[in-house]
Amino acid sequence: MAAWGGNGGKAASAGATAPAEVHSNVYDKDYYRSMFAKRTHAVPQQRMFIVGKENTVKTGTALFFGYEEGKKTTIFDIDNSASETVNHTYPGNEDILILPILDDTDDSLFKDDMSVNYNALIDKVVMFVNLMAEELKENPDQHSAVIFDGGSTCMKWCEFAMTESLLRKGVIKEEGDGFNQKEWRERNRLFKDVITRLHALPINKVYFTFHLKDNKQYADLGNGQKGLMKIGEKPDWVEGTQRLASQQLFMGRYQKKADSSAGVYADKSLADDEWVVKAKIEEIKGKGMELVGQERVVLRVQGGKVEFTGIEELRW
């Protein structure tokens, strides 16, 4: 695995001495003139949000679009579940690199009582994104894609980090205490900072996976009482996150009979021993926009046989 921010693991040539790079902390007109000069021509980019419930091949779909043979694909494994997908679909492939974030061997993430320090966890994510940016600047041709696998889990980490911050400030005395609505701005700030930094990475393909959650509200149950009822589904992200996406896919698992407890929808055209995962193309900006509104079968399982087809038109 390449050293982050280093020379990609390659040994320096004998006798070669790289010139020292001088960094200036003066951000004046000359600095911004040099930044302005870095304008480039437009190239097709993917900043894709892949949304779905569990077992809807979100990570596998991102790999299908992002992987290129001979180049590195880096996965920020927020959900700690990427290894299973990679080992099954690309066994032994050393070009797919997985970054575990909540790592039990990382002492910096735990407090004295061994509980997770969520502020340190978010700091680690941001630092890894910065190191990824350095690696991409130094060796751009060695990399194909970056996958942020677990955006909804990251948002929950930001919520826990916000709670820790409120405890330190004395806004709340215990974790279960209520607080003013405006305090949620801290969670939103932490989350959007991470997503925005990933979005800005100097690479053409960045993919984000998010969970799809039930949208519930209180409604009349018909007996004079009110209770929470499911009125639909929505992505588990901070409102406004979707504006960063250039492409959005909503994934769903289907079988002949629906199973709402497992998040499975009904498709009566399927056989009794068959189930599929479909992708609804919700948004595409620019290249491929003629596909918006289409629904494609990306995975089919029948009689013990698995067929993954993906969406070839989005495999740039």
pLDDT tens column, 194-215? 999 999 999 999 999 999 998 8
What pLDDT is attached to residue 49?
98
> Has residue 13 got a pLDDT over 60?
no
Q: What is the pLDDT of residues 132-150, one digit of tens each?
A: 999 999 999 999 999 999 9
Identity at 169, one-letter amino acid code: K
Q: Which residues lie closer than 8 Å to 65 by C-beta, 6 or more apart?
A: 46, 48, 145, 205, 207, 310, 314, 315, 316
Number of H helices, E strands in the chain: 6, 11
| Predicted confidence band of residue 41 (pLDDT cuts 50, 70, 90) | low
What pLDDT is attached to residue 238?
94
Place of tokens 């041709």: 141
At residue 273, what are phi and psi to the nearest 5 degrees? -100, 25
pTM above 0.75, yes or no: yes
> Has residue 107 got a pLDDT over 60?
yes
What pLDDT is attached to residue 11?
37
Distance between CA atoms of 154 and 194, rounded to whole angstroms?
9
> Has residue 55 got a pLDDT over 90?
yes
| Predicted confidence band of residue 85 (pLDDT cuts 50, 70, 90) | very high
Helical segments of the chain, H only: 29-36, 58-66, 82-89, 118-138, 151-169, 184-199
